[in-house]
Structure 1
Amino acid sequence: VGDGEAGAEVYCVANDRSQTKRVFEPALAMATKSAALAKRIKAVPSRYRLVKRDDMMSYVQALSCELRIAEGVNAHAVFVDELHSFDERGRKRFYELRFADCARAEPLFVVISTAGDNELGIGYEQYEFSKSVLAGTREDITHFVYIAEPKEGEKPGSVEAIASANPLLNVTVQLDEIQDKFKKSDGRPGERNQYLRYRENRWIKQSADPWLRLKDWDACDGEFEPSPGDTCFGGLDLAAKYDLSAWSMCFPLGDDEYAFTAHFWLPEEHIQEREQNDRLPYRKWVDDGWMTLTPGPTTDYEFIEQRIADDAALYDLIDFGFDPCFARRSAQRLQDEFGLTLFEFAQTPGHYTEPCKLFAECVKARRLRHDGNPLLRVHASQVAVRSDAGGRIMPIKADKNRRWYHIDGIVAVLMAFQRATANEGVTGGMPMAVQL
């Protein structure tokens, strides 16, 4: 309506239908309640569309990332709402529209979002890029950035932090109300995280009290590549049918230092659903060699068993721990057909307490080296430990309410690590303890 662009296609994009409706309704209200706009714009609420009356090819269309975007989109302007909530499906839609304006003379692409809690998503990716433009480390004269967030050193709940994150403080939001919400969130980690996101615009990267800090984890990335014949111990966490399966090998390096690798499997027919639910680029990691897709709708254990047998033939695999809940049959076949030595690793605090404590110490002291598997890094960021009445601990999801949280890789790593530390000094022979 405003700039006279012929056939102007304008898109308002949100992650799901519910948010799309919230985006469209204010525009619909403006178009129908303004007499001047109503003369020029026809509303089609059932299609979430506003059409210019004298140019039916010019319209505003609200889109949900749940729907496929047709080929041939020629966007004049795109407005993206709450990018932090976009999953991997949303990432795809974002880039489809981001590059759908090449035929326009002066296209506009606007992103509006609060802070989120998924540092692997497209929202955090764009946030980091925008920060680099502001800092001057990346040059992009087409990229205008405005971020209202606390400055470095401004403590949560402080007047300075609140003012930095709320440019209309005491106009649309009141200082005393925000301070009251901060006080009420004390001692409630979940509520405190929500306060930090929505009142101070801070990204929440991990649980409030993470077991493994990603800063320490990343410092252990040693690009480790084992040599044939190296002594190692394994850990196997098999999925029931549809979930991730993980296999890890731990290589003792001497002087209380260890290195490990990890590999993952998913059923091929569920890859799209899992990418959307978990908000992770699984197919990219398959292409990069960190994961394998097994054919069909459920996990094909033969693929995993063959990988373990191949690793046992290549390295000096002393034994491996496995969760008997789902892996008993595979473990038995590996023992019967390939002669591998097994350790039945019940998922109880009794088995996990010592390896968990030592593992955390080794990560913090940089005595571990890993191969940089990006999915294992995700699992490291999503794991916490739970203590029982006796002070024993075992790994759990840092937030059980987040369905996209998984710790399968860390579980496999801890089982392999326990076997290595329990059999310290053992090479080429029977382990100290075997349960079948």
Structure 2
Amino acid sequence: MTTTFPTWIFDGTAIPDPLGCGERAVRFLRALKHPKSPSKGKAFQLDPWQERIVRRIYGPRHPDGTRIVKTVVLLLPRGNRKTSLAAALALLHTLGPERVPSGEVVSAASDRDQARIAFREAWGIVRAHSHLAAPAVTHVVDSRHIIASARHGTTYHAISCDADRQHGGTPSFVLADELHAWKKRDMWDVLKSGLVKVKGSLLIVATTAGRGQENIAHDIVEDARKVARGEVVDPSILPILFEAGKDEDWRDEAVWHRVNPGLAHGYPDIEGLRQLAREGERRPGDREAFRQLNLNVWLDHSADPFVDMDVYDAGAAPVDLDALEGEPCWLGVDMSTTTDLTAVVACWRDGDGGYIVHPFFFCPADNLRARADRDGVPYPTWADEGFITPTPGNVVDYRAVEARIRELCGRFRVQEIAFDKAYAQPVMGPLNDDGLPVAILQLGWVTQSPALNELERAIVSHRFRHGGHPVLRWCFENVAIQTDPAGNRIMHKGKSRDRIDGAFATWMAISRAAAGDTGGSAFKSDEFTNDLLRWL
């Protein structure tokens, strides 16, 4: 696969600058000062790799003189001074030659604290230069994080995603700061829609790597990767991606230097990175933080994932449900409280030791956007695309879950319907009354571990096909594993907000399909205790 590494930053190739706009931008940045600069006179430090980036953004032009680059995706590990560079570029559009009369420059962050960091960086650069700080040149409203050009009416405003904002803004420049930390996309949509109102607007996404795939940052970075690899041709997007591969040795200092371009100029501190690496060798959580924040490895949600999600993704080939109608089928049902996610997973055996699964998810339709904000995943999009069934009201309609199970029993040769007894009675009771093959799956270390091993074996051996269902993937991504002193394992949530319902229902369905493979239970004889039905 073609690399996404920005080799053009270091290879010395010519960067077109027909109108001199790239040179003009570099000259403005070099005229700035920075309060922490070690250079003589506190001159703003613009190192060669940063200068190349600036020239590549502002130099190339269309024949009509408009800038070719409209979106910059800068994926850079912590400590490489992306905040300083981003603040300087914001000032280039506020006080410098890229300004638009009465234009609006916006720096948007995940919360007020991060927004204030961006503002303080820009304000520090202004204050370090007596000419820029003069009242006749700039006007600052510290409490509102605003820097305004007194001469041209241009304003720089640092805002946070958790603050209220009117939809009437028309920014000419937007910096999306640490996009991986944005918990919802409302502000992103507002700013993107505002940018198209202004000719020649520019969007810069400056972020470190995040976790999970169900967020706007992953979507933007993945699209930039496609542009970098040449899979998508879009000259308006400039991908600048400094990231290590998941399989690279995180202790290799050559990898550190490749993905941290500032190391050649003394930042971040190499001894500090060595200390973090030593701690990561002893503590898995610190190791994962080092890989994410200092090497830009985009991680799964769980710090201790059940399986490598790249291996899991190998099973994303489409599932043809029509072709499975004559095959034995097992259902796993993980009921939820009435306000959370309920999962029904159908499982079929696929040859020798393989499995095919297809999930069905249910959640309340009311406040779907609020639920998306809470869990950090696109519930509305999943609902629109048919991956989740929103039931009317603010609670899960158990009748819809029951109806789907009955539909599956009518369409497929369902052998068993396995329930966790928690919250199961409203759905399980009517099915049992009508003679459908319901059963309770007893939970515990000894009963869960064998089926978990079977599920893991199938995934790792590429004998597990799931059709790439995004909600099921998210659930598996969230799974972490607990192990008892005897070596038995169970699933649990990696973080309190995560959902693993689909993975848990898959484990239940796999457990029954595995037992069906031998004509009987592969586990203890009391795993299914139908007498419990009388006590629920």
TM-score for both structures, normalised by structure 1: 0.88
Matched to 1:309, the amino acid is R
User: Secondary structure of the residue that 1:104 maps to in structure 2?
Assistant: coil
Post-superposition CA distance 1:21-57 (Å, at most 9, x none): 222223344456654333222222333322333455x
Change (3 A) 1:206 1:283: closer
Indicate yes or no: 2:363 matched with 1:263: no
Q: Give the gaps of 5 or more residues in structure 2.
A: 1-94, 521-526
Aligned partner (choices 465, 479, 483) of residue 383 of structure 1: 479
Residue 136 of structure 1 corresponds to 230
Q: Percent identity?
A: 25
> Residues 13 and 80 of structure 1 are in contact (CA less than 8 Å); yes or no, is this contact kept in structure 2?
yes
2:423 to 326, 339, 352: 326
Q: CA deviation at 1:286?
A: 1.0
Deviation at 1:69, TM superposition (A): 4.3
Residue 502 of structure 2 corresponds to 409
Q: Closer, same or farther in 2 for the Cα pair 1:152/1:422, shift >3 Å?
A: closer
Where do residues 10-49 of structure 1 align in structure 2 (5 Å cutoff)? 10-31=105-126, 34-37=129-132, 38-49=135-146
1:287 is matched with which residue? 384
Secondary structure of the structure 2 residue equivalent to 1:186: helix
CA separation in 2, counterparts of 1:186 and 1:80? 33
Question: Could you say which residue in structure 2 is the equivalent of 1:419?
Answer: 512
**Residue among 326, 330, 346 paired with 1:233:** 330
Residue from 297, 300, 304 that aligns with 2:397: 300
Query: What CA deviation, in whole Å up to 9, does each residue of 1:312-346 have, x standing for no partner?
Result: 2222222211111221332112222x332221113
Secondary structure, counterpart of 1:390 in structure 2: coil
Residue equivalent to 2:182: 86
**Partner letter of residue 417 of structure 1?**
I
Shift of 1:204: 2.1
Cα distance in 1, alignment partners of residues 320 and 144 from structure 2: 55
Q: Does 1:62 align with 2:155?
A: no
Deviation at 1:138, TM superposition (A): 2.9
C-alpha distance in 2 between matches for 1:425 and 1:351: 17
Tell me whether 98-107 or 147-156 shows the greater mean CA deviation. 147-156
Do the aligned partners of 1:150 and 1:160 also contact (CA within 8 Å) in 2? no
> Is residue 300–residue 309 contact of structure 2 (8 Å, CA) maintained in 1?
no
Q: Which amino acid aligns with 1:376?
A: L
Cα drift, residue 235 of structure 1:
0.9
Cα deviation for residue 9 of structure 1 reads 0.9
2:458 corresponds in structure 1 to: 362
> Alignment partner of 1:326: what SS?
coil
- Out of 192, 195, 210, the residue aligned to residue 305 of structure 2 is 210
How far apart, CA to CA, are the structure 2 residues paired with 1:152 and 1:273? 33
Matched, 1:176 2:271: yes
Matched with 1:77 is 173
Does residue 273 in structure 1 map to residue 370 in structure 2? yes
CA contact (8 A) 1:237 1:408 kept: yes
> Partner amino acid for 1:159?
E
Residue 5 (structure 1) aligned to one of 100, 103, 106: 100
Tell me which of 241, 244, 259 is aligned to 2:341: 244
Classify the secondary structure of the residue corresponding to 1:168: helix
Structure 1 residues 308-317 or 354-363, which shifts more? 308-317
Deviations 1:237-268, CA, capped at 9 Å, x for gaps: 11123221101111234533332210111112
Amino acid paired to 2:333? L
* Matched-pair contact (CA < 8 Å) for 1:154–1:160: no
| Structure-1 separation of matches of 2:457 and 2:311 | 10
Query: What TM-score, normalized to structure 2?
Result: 0.73
Q: How far, CA to CA, are the matches of 1:181 and 1:295 in structure 2?
A: 50
Q: After alignment, is 184-193 or 271-280 more displaced?
A: 271-280
2-side partners of 1:245 and 1:151: how far apart? Answer: 35
Instruction: Give the equivalent residue in structure 2 for 1:122.
Output: 216
CA apart distance, 1:382: 2.0
**Deviation of the 1:8 alpha carbon:** 0.3
Give 1:192 shift.
0.8
